[in-house]
Amino acid sequence: MEIIVFESEAYLNLQREMLQMVRTTIREAKEEALANMDPANDWLSPEEAKSLLGIKSKTKLQELRDFDEILYSKAGKVIRYSKTSILEYLNRHIVR
């Protein structure tokens, strides 16, 4: 078995660099996915929207709509939610 020893400062620097690489990769993947998104597939049903948001309550979905946090379209009684606006909402509420 081979043992590798790091100075604590070098180890912390390595952690920071790896975390930055992961963040950059995720950001680039997200930007690419949004750029390639088909506008026709942008509209979600209420159930799909709740699933993407990770919520179960129709009331919370209504609240997000009422406070203009996410975009929606209403044709008659049919309501659809913008997937792009939901992803933007989630990105605005990232906790670091």
Rounded CA separation 21/58 (Å): 37
Written as six digits, the tokens of 91 are: 């990105």
Mean pLDDT along residues 25-35: 82
Q: Across residues 28-47, what is the average pLDDT?
A: 80
The mean per-residue pLDDT over the stretch 13-17 comes to 95
pLDDT of 69 reads 94
Contact partners, residue 42, CB within 8 Å, separation at least 6: 82, 83, 84
Q: What is the pTM of this model?
A: 0.58
* Encoded tokens for 16: 């920071």
Tell me how far apart the alpha carbons of residues 43 and 55 are, in angstroms, rounded to a whole number. Answer: 18
